[in-house]
Amino acid sequence: MSNTLSSTYQAPSPLKKFIKRTLRNRSIMVGLTIISLIILIAILAPILTHRDPLAIDPVNRLTPPNRTYLFGTDSLGYDLYTRTIYGSRISLFTGFMVTLLSGTMGVILGLICGYIPKVDAIIMRILDGLMAFPTILLAIALMAVLGAQLSNVIIALSIVYTPSVARVVRSVVLTIKETEYIEAAQALGASSTRTIFKHILPNCLAPIIIQASFIFAQSILAEAALSFLGVGVPPYIPTWGSIMTDGRIFIRVAPWIIFFPGLAVMISVLGLNLLGDGLRDVLDPRLKSL
Amino acid sequence: MTEYLIKRLIALLPVLLIVGLSGFLLINLIPGDPVAVMLGPEATQEDVDRLRHEMGLDLPLFIQLIRWYSRLFRGDLGYSIFLHRPVLQAIRERLEPTLLLTFMSLLISTTLGISMGILAAVRRNTRIDQLVMSLSVLGMSIPSFWLALIFIQVFAVHIEILPVAGYTPISEGIWQTIRSLFLPALTLGFIQSTFIARMTRSSMLEVLSQDYIRTAKAKGLTQRKVIYVHALRNAFIPIATVLGLVLGSLMSGAVVVETVFALPGVGQAVLASIARRDYPMVQGILLFIAFIYVFVNFLVDILYVALDPRVKYV
């Protein structure tokens, strides 16, 4: 009897369990749906609008939303609908690049700090120093030095978000390093490189993924704020932030300039935050109450 | 406690040194010649040389760094050639609206956030809890200037009960000042309150599951007393630690919101200085705010120990 039981019963694989829990998590599913829609809009931009995001219509400046100009026009006569649609491309790209760069730098620094105590103190002090600046303000200062360009926005925001990733990775490494299986791996003669990449890094993956989804969201918001303030992406490149630059001056006469692109920012950031929240529940049940 | 204070103060030193170094690097990172950039294309070589000498930028880098630190130590943040006055004085002139805005938004965000958090925790898994949690995700996703726009449209354009923009200084009456800062403070306060609500909720939930809460309930205390006297006091400790973070976000957010509402504060001064390429001013404001931020977080750490006798002085 026990023989048949053991042969038929198979524990569900961790991957299967993970997928099952992911599919059941409402937060993740809503978040993924929103993000997929935004990505779809970014890909299908030329189909969704027949206008050129760089074309201006000087006759129809500051036109409120109507049938021809769904989201209205700004003070130069740019069609805001077209620019919001195309803006999704560069805004998503910026967010993605910032996440990738700050993630990579953060993981490298975090691993070094967690693994080599001698370097730890120095790097952590520098990161503490960076974290002493409120994020947007640091980004603004970096942009003042680097100059208003798309690539500089990516660089500045990557620098701003690196410390938070490094801290998370470092704290996980410090915990895992003390566990018995790492000791066992080292006792069996595993090299440092092998221990780090084979045993420690995979365990950092969950917090990194959670952190990444929040950084993606934060960097889209930050890019929008920087460009809105005129120190981010220059207005001729359409991002959700840069197309609103005008809206600051015309906030009372033409509120639609900020309304629609801002809504696009909010919806996509909401999608990413929901995804992050859900992932945290699924990947790290200990943090569920947070 | 004294020993802990001294230890914390010593730990503060490297952070302050690095903050100072970042400020120093900022000017040296500018591609090309910062002095030529500051003076613009019409400046003659003589002008550039003279200003460079005045700013001490013709000295060796190491000497410059020493001079920089010694100036910082004396509380000298440099001189703005555009505003014709010391940077610190220029900042002081702009400080009133920013400080009041930060204070008002902190007040709004903590009151709103803590009450929403308690409500969600006490009514766990009800509609109210869901509403608070949804609001909190939404709050994390709203661009501050977008929310400001909505508030302006509703309260200033449609019902016309609050001014659209502008600032009334405190010298012209405190109520007018509060009126002029209400919408900007509400914008920042609401966004940050969602973060505090989350923290309060999770912290309260943890405390409410403790044995001593059950004891308190068992001995017949009213729910009100259990929540406000026994639970909240303990839940407040983790909440206090995020207040430092919140303050940083508020000061960052102030830059954006000041621009939208045309408040003549420090945030607007940063942006104006960037446009003028007034680097000493940008550098000075950045350092000024970073120092406040570090100091507040230091106070929060001290508060943490003062609030919770269980925390060891490490």
- The better pLDDT of the pair A249, A260 is held by A260
CB-CB contact of A277 with A25 (8 Å): no
Distance (Å) from the alpha carbon of A128 to chain B's nearest alpha carbon: 6
**Nearest neighbour of A137 by CB, restricted to B138, B157, B289:** B289
Distance (Å) from the alpha carbon of B74 to chain A's nearest alpha carbon: 20
The pLDDT profile of chain B, 314 residues, written as one tens digit per residue, is 788 888 888 888 888 888 888 888 887 777 767 787 778 778 888 888 888 888 777 888 888 888 888 888 888 888 888 888 999 999 999 999 999 999 999 999 999 999 999 999 999 889 999 999 999 999 999 999 999 989 998 888 888 888 888 898 888 888 999 999 999 999 999 999 999 999 899 889 988 888 888 888 888 888 888 888 888 888 887 788 788 888 888 888 888 999 999 999 999 999 898 888 888 898 899 899 888 888 888 888 788 777 777 665 54
What is the rounded CA–CA span in Å between residue A234 and residue B175?
Answer: 40
Residue intervals of chain B classified under CATH 1.10.3720.10 are: 95-264
**Nearest neighbour of B19 by CB, restricted to A129, A251, A277:** A129
Task: Report chain B residues whose CB lies below 8 A from the CB of A252.
Answer: 152, 157, 164
Structural tokens at position B158: 């449609």
Distance (Å) from the alpha carbon of B206 to chain A's nearest alpha carbon: 8
Q: What is the pLDDT of residues B151-190, one digit of tens each?
A: 998 888 888 888 888 898 888 888 999 999 999 999 999 9
**Nearest neighbour of B143 by CB, restricted to A145, A224, A274:** A224
Please name the residue ranges forming H helices in chain B: 2-29, 34-39, 45-54, 61-73, 87-122, 127-141, 144-151, 174-208, 211-218, 223-225, 232-260, 266-276, 279-307
DSSP state of A290: -
What is the rounded CA–CA span in Å between residue B202 and residue B204?
Answer: 5
What string of DSSP letters covers A64-125? Answer: PS-SSSTT-B-TT-BBHHHHHHHHHHHHHHHHHHHHHHHHHHHHHHHHHHHH-HHHHHHHHH
ipTM for the whole complex: 0.86
Task: Report chain B residues whose CB lies below 8 A from the CB of A270.
Answer: 137-138, 141
Distance (Å) from the alpha carbon of B201 to chain A's nearest alpha carbon: 8
> Domain B95-264 carries which CATH code?
1.10.3720.10
What's the one-letter identity of residue B79? Y
Closest Cα in chain B to A226: B256
Distance (Å) from the alpha carbon of B229 to chain A's nearest alpha carbon: 22
Provide CB contacts within 8 A for B202, sequence distance 6+: A289, A290, B121
What is the rounded CA–CA span in Å between residue A21 and residue A180?
Answer: 29
**Are B144 and A269 an interchain contact pair (Cβ–Cβ within 8 Å)?**
no
Structural tokens at position A111: 């691993």
- Dihedral of CA atoms A95, A224, A214, B299 in degrees, nearest 10, equals 130
Determine contact: A144 vs chain B, CB below 8 A: yes
Residue A1 predicted with pLDDT over 60: no
Task: Report chain B residues whose CB lies below 8 A from the CB of A222.
Answer: none
Closest Cα in chain A to B207: A289
Determine contact: A23 vs chain B, CB below 8 A: no
What is the rounded CA–CA span in Å between residue B314 and residue B310?
Answer: 12
**Are B149 and A228 an interchain contact pair (Cβ–Cβ within 8 Å)?**
no
